[in-house]
């Protein structure tokens, strides 16, 4: 019941439609290249993402369901805090660009998820929502985040996307 109430509140604050300030997405997303792990480096987050450390978004193409399975994991409160997980499902909404998805944290709710900036070699990306209230800057590597965040901000602002008031996500992972 608590998750249901959280989803209602989240959707009331984000909206389920693409109305509001229109935001251009990137021209094209190669879904195969986009799948995998993305470290969440900075953003303007939802109430479900407060006090996140080691934020990791994992995208997996689910061929049988023709969707993207999304798992957001993080440590709550500190780098060694309890690990939490928020599973979601995503569907490509704009088939031409694959840059506009509909994401659902739980049935029947879906919200727009826009790939608004993307490094040409898929080293980093920025994802937002149509009204620009939320923004996630993510990268394939968690180390040395500031140059990536700065470049993402530069590109977002050049497109007219609000990149102010970002919260940095502390990241510290064991050496591989």
pLDDT tens digits, 76-122:
999 999 999 999 999 999 989 999 999 998 778 898 999 999 999 99
pLDDT in tens, 113-169: 999 999 999 999 999 999 999 999 999 999 999 999 999 999 999 999 999 999 999
Lowest mean pLDDT among 17-21, 60-64, 110-114: 17-21
Q: How many CB atoms lie within 10 A of CB 54?
A: 21
End-to-end Cα distance, the chain = 39
* Residue 102: per-residue pLDDT: 95
Cα separation, 88 vs 70, whole angstroms: 5
Handedness of CA 14, 15, 21, 25 (dihedral sign): positive
Residue 158 corresponds to which tokens in the numbers above?
């050049």
Which of helix, strand or coil describes residue 116? strand
* Residue 175: per-residue pLDDT: 75
Residue 31 corresponds to which tokens in the numbers above?
């879904």
pLDDT tier at 14, thresholds 50, 70, 90: very low
Distances in Å between the alpha carbon of 47 and those of 20, 120, 131, 134? 21, 31, 16, 10
Q: What is the pTM of this model?
A: 0.86
Handedness of CA 17, 105, 123, 64 (dihedral sign): negative
């Amino acid at each position: 019941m608590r998750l249901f109430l959280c989803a209602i509140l989240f959707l009331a604050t984000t909206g389920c439609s693409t109305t509001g300030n229109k935001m251009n997405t990137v021209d094209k997303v190669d879904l195969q290249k986009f799948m995998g792990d993305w470290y969440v480096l900075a953003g303007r987050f939802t109430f479900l993402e407060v006090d996140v450390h080691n934020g990791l978004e994992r995208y997996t193409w689910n061929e049988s369901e023709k969707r993207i399975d999304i798992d957001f994991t993080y440590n709550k409160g500190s780098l060694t805090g309890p690990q939490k997980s928020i599973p979601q499902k995503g569907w490509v909404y704009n088939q031409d660009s694959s840059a506009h998805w509909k994401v659902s944290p739980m049935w029947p709710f879906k919200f727009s998820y826009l790939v608004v900036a993307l490094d040409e070699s898929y080293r980093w990306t920025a994802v937002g929502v149509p009204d620009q209230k939320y923004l996630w800057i993510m990268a394939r590597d968690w180390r040395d985040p500031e140059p990536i965040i700065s470049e993402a901000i530069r590109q977002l602002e050049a497109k007219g996307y609000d990149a102010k008031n970002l919260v940095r996500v502390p990241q510290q992972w064991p050496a591989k």
